[in-house]
Amino acid sequence: MTEINTRVFLSIIIIIVFLTGGTTLYLNLSGTINETQGEHVVFQTLDMVKIHGNYYQGEQVKGIILIHMLGEDRNVWNELAIEINNAGYTVLTFDSRGHGSSITQNNKEINWTLFDKNDYEDMVFDLDAAISFLNMKEITNISVVGSSLGGNIALKYLSSYDEIIERNEYLTTYDKIIEAEKNNTISNLVLISPGLNYKEIDTEDAIKNIGNVNILFIVSKEDSGSLNSVQTLESYHSNSEKIIYDGRNHGTEIIKDEKARGSIILWLKEVF
């Protein structure tokens, strides 16, 4: 038995749980828990994408999912994930489909650089699988932090999930009915540098149909595109706040600053 700044367990755990007609696969691949990256886990989406993530068990039965922006991977969240976890929350980060280690769908390789509009919309299944993974851990009270496209995907999930599953070729008609009736467990959103129609993910219509979800917008003053998007989106959702930072940083570039990370944690403590 060796140590890599971790506790090492010899067993490999495989749990297959049937949820609402679909299959969620969970593996603790390495058997290790790393102090900076949590526990490496893998779970499968309804459309057969194998998603790699980092899981940080918290003291509270409250979960926070972090979704990175286009072209990045889950490791951009390491600092924030640890700090949120230290505040008592369970945290799950993951590589969105076509990114990082999440590059296999039905045993075929996928890459985000080749995605079209439908492929980007299908990222809602990544979030759905992440929620199902936390549900399996008996965590049903969930907040989401999304950076740029990641935030747009969260809005799309809340507003249009039932429409997107209709074209999922991997689901039976019965599965689609069950999925469409799935209760939403997201109560709070942190949207960092969101867009209105980035990669054709329409958030302007989406935000009108997400119900009474608390939203914190975070944006930089000189990131004019995202700032305009935030001003438009907040006009449709009264239950929202925004923080504007100096500079032109976009997405996860903003949360490299300790103050910005602290503001997210403070807000989560107030609403969650």
The pLDDT profile of the chain, 272 residues, written as one tens digit per residue, is 443 343 333 333 333 333 434 444 555 544 445 556 699 999 999 899 999 999 999 999 999 999 999 999 999 999 999 999 999 999 999 999 999 999 999 999 999 999 999 999 999 999 999 999 998 999 989 999 999 999 999 999 999 877 777 777 777 887 777 776 665 579 999 999 999 999 999 999 999 999 899 999 999 999 999 999 999 999 999 999 999 999 999 999 999 999 999 999 999 999 99
Residue 165 confidence (pLDDT): 76
**Residues near 163 by Cβ (< 8 Å), separated by ≥ 6?**
none
Under a CB-based contact definition with an 8 Å cutoff, are residues 51 and 129 in contact?
yes
Q: Calculate ∠ Cα 171-176-179, nearest 5°.
A: 115
Residue type, 193: S
Q: Which of 7, 107, 5 is nearest to 49 (CA)?
A: 107
CA distance linking residue 230 with residue 224, whole number of Å: 10
Helical residues (DSSP H) of the chain, grouped into ranges: 78-86, 117-121, 124-136, 149-165, 173-180, 203-206, 224-235, 258-271
Residue 108 has phi, psi (to 5 degrees) of -115, 145
CA distance linking residue 124 with residue 121, whole number of Å: 6
**Residues near 197 by Cβ (< 8 Å), separated by ≥ 6?**
203, 204
Q: Which of 153, 147, 154, 158 is nearest to 261 (CA)?
A: 147
Residue 66 has phi, psi (to 5 degrees) of -110, 125
Structure tokens at 137: 């851990």
Under a CB-based contact definition with an 8 Å cutoff, are residues 41 and 133 in contact?
yes
Q: What percent of the chain has pLDDT over 90?
A: 74
Under a CB-based contact definition with an 8 Å cutoff, are residues 36 and 17 in contact?
no
Residue type, 211: G
CA distance linking residue 228 with residue 225, whole number of Å: 5
User: What angle, rounded to 10 degrees, do the helices at 173-180 and 149-165 form?
Assistant: 130
CA distance linking residue 32 with residue 44, whole number of Å: 20
Q: How many CA atoms lie within 13 A of 38 on its CB side?
A: 29
Residue 27 has phi, psi (to 5 degrees) of -130, 135
